[in-house]
Amino acid sequence: MPKPEIYITFRLTQPEKDLLREYCEQTGRNQTDVLRELIRGLKRRIKRTNKEV
């Protein structure tokens, strides 16, 4: 897999950050991996939404 060349910075509330940290601890995954998976899941949601229209 090629190395990503784009960096995104965004703000979270403390409860959101805590939730992400807790999820990462429970799954043994890092934050980048978890966030990438969530972003990739958007592709499926977009396809599903387009089919419903």
The percent helix, strand, coil of the chain (3-state, each to 5) is 70, 0, 30
Is residue 47 assigned to a domain? no
Is residue 52 assigned to a domain? no
| Of 1 and 40, the one with more pLDDT | 40
Structural domain of residue 24, as residue ranges? 13-37
- Per-residue buried b or exposed e for 8-38, using 16+ beta carbons within 10 Å of the residue's own CB: eeeeeeeeeeeeeeeebeeeeeeeeeeeeee
Task: Give the count of domains, the chain.
Answer: 1
- The confidence score (pLDDT) of residue 53 equals 64
Is residue 42 assigned to a domain? no
Is residue 50 assigned to a domain? no
Is residue 25 assigned to a domain? yes
Report the C-alpha gap between 37 and 40 in whole angstroms.
Answer: 5
| pLDDT digit string, tens, across residues 4-51 | 788 999 999 999 999 999 999 999 999 999 999 999 999 888 887 777
Predicted confidence band of residue 1 (pLDDT cuts 50, 70, 90): low
- Asked if residue 24 lies in contact with residue 30, where contact means CB atoms within 8 angstroms, the answer is yes
